[in-house]
Amino acid sequence: MNIGSMTPDTGLTRLALLILLPLLLAALIRAPWRQLLAKQERMNALGAAIVVLPLLWSMSPELPGGEKLHLLGMTAVTLLFSWQLAVIAGALAAGVLLVVGSWTPAALPLNMLLVVVVPVLVSSAVLAAANRLPRTNLFVYMLGVAFVGSMLAIGVSLWIGSRMLGTDLDHALVMLMTFPEGFINGAVISARAVFAPELLRTYDDERYLGKPRGS
């Protein structure tokens, strides 16, 4: 969800900036740059994410209130690269939409809060909760974290956005958005976990398959 053609309240914009700027700074400092640069495939995947995200966010029908609904894709990016690189990738993708004129400078902070920060934080929280379970397996990661986690991420983003903007969202429309969000993120992460688990920053063979490290 982004605010589309709506004019954001000054107080909401300031609140968004107070959250965004420290988080972006922390992401830049703590991002796993060494691991990213160690594999060309990871850099290529991050570049692809920065290209795909603006396209995904541009497919957004406008609602009567002015806000726009679209898929997020941030759960997959978070699980692929870590929350730090997900925030950075989301910021760069938002910059692309700003340059092409799809997002206005005034709407950028609030849009980034709803489209990037909220889903990244929710996805990270779901991952942390899954990792604290006494017993886990591959399906917990693929279905619980990727599929259900992404559905929760877009649901929370829609809820926070509607509360901040004072708009009402149709429950059927929300459900219509959550399932494809879960399917897309779940499919991307499942494919990576099966065919290229070494490229998943948040995946651990020892935890989810019981394999000893290095096997």
Confidence of residue 210 (pLDDT cuts 50, 70, 90): low
Residue 198 to residue 205: CA distance in whole angstroms: 9
Tell how many helices (H) and how many strands (E) occur in the chain. 11, 0
Residue 207 to residue 201: CA distance in whole angstroms: 13
Backbone angles phi, psi at 166, to 5 degrees: 70, 30
Of 3-17, 40-54, 121-135, the least confident:
3-17
What is the reported pLDDT for 3? 87
CA angle 59, 61, 65 (to 5 degrees): 140
Residue 21 to residue 108: CA distance in whole angstroms: 12
* Overall pTM > 0.85: yes
Backbone angles phi, psi at 148, to 5 degrees: -70, -40
Mean pLDDT over each residue of the chain, to the nearest integer: 90
**Mean pLDDT of the region 28-43:** 93
Token pair 């806000």 is found at 67
What confidence tens digit (pLDDT) does each residue in 53-102 have? Answer: 999 999 887 777 778 889 999 999 999 999 999 999 999 999 999 999 99
What is the reported pLDDT for 211? 53
The closest of 142, 133, 146, 138 to 208, measured between CA atoms, is 138
Q: What are the distances in angstroms from CA 121 to CA 6, 77, 157, 164, 198?
A: 25, 12, 10, 18, 23
Helix (H, G, I), strand (E, B) or coil at 72: coil
